[in-house]
Amino acid sequence: MSAKIIDGKAFAATVRGKVAQHVASLKDAHGITPGLAVVLVGEDPASQVYVRSKGKLTVEVGMKSVEHKLDADTTQADLLAIIDQLNTDPAIHGILVQLPLPDHLNEDLVINAIAPEKDVDGFHISNVGLLGTGQKSMVPCTPLGCLMMLRDYHGSLSGMNAVVIGRSNIVGKPMAQLLLGDSCTVTIAHSRTKDLPDVVRGADIVVAAVGRPQMVPGDWIKPGATVIDVGINRLDAPERGPGKTRLVGDVDYDSCAAVAGAITPVPGGVGPMTIACLLANTVTACCRANGLPEPEGLTA
Ligand code: NAP
C-alpha cells in the first residue's frame, strides 16, 4: 500500500477545535453563543444516531444545542410552524432538518422554508444558487469537508482534473461546484456515463459519492491521484460474529490505496468531517447574523 491516508477523524477534531476557539471568543468579546437547532421527524434509527451525535458535539464546542423530536405523523403545517419559530428565534443561528423525512412530508418545501442564512445544511434553493454563481453561501457540509481535506493536502487545486462520481443535490453537484470554484477542470459522472473507468483514469482527484459498495477498483485510478471516498455502505460481516456488519466506502480501498497518492478511509475519512463542517457552518452563520468577521478557514 503506497497512498498517504488522509485522516478525516483527526482533521475533523482540528476543525472542531477551531470552532470551539471561535465560539469562546464570540462569548468573551460579544456575549454571543451560537445556537444550532436540529429537527427530527419520526424514529428512523440511523437518523436518531446522527442527531444524538450532532447534539453531543454541538455542546462539546460550547454552542447551544436544541432538538425538536417530532412524531412520525407530524403534519406539514406543524413542521412548518416549528421552522417558522426557529427562523425568528435570535438565539438560533443554524437549523437542520434531518433527512429523509417521512413520505407524507414535502422535503423541498420544508427545506426551502428554512431562512437561507440559517440553512446550515446548504440545501435551500437560495444557497444552491449562490454557490453556483460563486457568491457567499452556506455550503453543504459533506462536500465542504471533502474540499477542506483536499485543500489541506494539495494546497492549490488549480488546474487539476477532478472527477466526481455521483450527481446528487447533497453531495455530487455541490462538490463539483466547489472544485470548479477552486479552478479544477471538473467532470461529473453518473449512472449513464459512458466508459466510466476511462473517465476516472484521467482524474488527478476522484470523489466517489455513489452509494455502491467498493464500486471503484484500483485499476481505474491514475497512479498518484487523490481519492476521496464519500460512500457509507454497510455490509454483512459474518467473520466478526453472527449478525455483525462493517462499513465500506464506494471505492475498493485496498486496490485503490495501492496506486493512489492519497486516500480517505471508511470509516474515519469524510464521515467525521461532515459533522465538523455542520458546526463550522453554524459559527459562520452566527458571525454573519451579527455582522462580525467570519472565522478563517471554516468555509469555502
Ligand atoms: P444518491 O443520491 O443515491 O446519488 C448517487 C449518485 O451515484 C447518483 O447520481 C447516481 O447516478 C450515481 N450512480 C449510481 N450508480 C452508479 C454507477 N454504477 N456508475 C456511476 N454513477 C452511479 O447518493 P448520495 O446521497 O449522493 O450519497 C452517495 C454516497 O455517499 C452514499 O453511500 C451515502 O451514504 C454517502 N454519504 C456520505 C456522507 C458522509 O457524511 N460521509 C454524506 C452523504 C452521503 P444517477 O443520478 O444517474 O442515478
pLDDT digits (tens, 9 = 90+) for 209-265: 999 999 999 999 999 999 999 999 999 999 999 999 999 999 999 999 999 999 999
pLDDT digits (tens, 9 = 90+) for 130-146: 999 999 999 999 999 99
Q: Say yes or no to pLDDT of 180 above 90.
A: yes
Residues 212 and 233: their CA atoms lie apart, in Å, by: 7
Q: Output the average pLDDT for the chain.
A: 97
pLDDT digits (tens, 9 = 90+) for 151-174: 999 999 999 999 999 999 999 999
CA of 62 to the centre of ligand 1 (A): 33
Task: Kindly state the cell numbers that stand for 130.
Answer: 449562490
Q: Say yes or no to pLDDT of 2 above 90.
A: no
Shortest-distance Cα residue to atom 31 of ligand 1: 211
Q: Is the pTM of this model over 0.85?
A: yes
What is the percentage of the chain residues whose pLDDT exceeds 70? 100
What is the percentage of the chain residues whose pLDDT exceeds 90? 99
Burial 5-31 (b: 16+ CB within 10 A, else e): ebbbeebbeebbebbbebbeebeeeee
CA of 109 to the centre of ligand 1 (A): 22
84 pLDDT band, cuts 50/70/90, is very high
What residues are annotated to the active site?
A: 54, 98, 121
Which conformational region is residue 160 in: left (phi greater than 0), alpha (psi within -120 to 50 degrees), or beta?
A: beta
Cα separations (Å) of 144 from 29, 30, 181, 205, 275?
A: 28, 27, 12, 15, 11
Residues 49 and 68: their CA atoms lie apart, in Å, by: 14
CA of 203 to the centre of ligand 1 (A): 18
Residues 26 and 73: their CA atoms lie apart, in Å, by: 39
Q: Say yes or no to pLDDT of 128 above 90.
A: yes
Q: Which atom of ligand 1 is nearest to the CA of 209?
A: 28
Q: Which atom of ligand 1 is nearest to the CA of 231?
A: 32
Q: Say yes or no to pLDDT of 1 above 80.
A: no
The set of residues, in sequence order, having a beta carbon less than 8 Å from that of 148 and lying 6+ positions away, is: 11, 15, 273, 277, 297
Q: Say yes or no to pLDDT of 190 above 90.
A: yes
Burial tier of 186 (Cβ tally within 10 Å: 0-12, 13-18, 19+): buried
List all residues whose CB is within 6 A of at least one atom of ligand 1: 142, 165-168, 170-172, 189-193, 196, 209-212, 230-233, 250, 270-271, 274
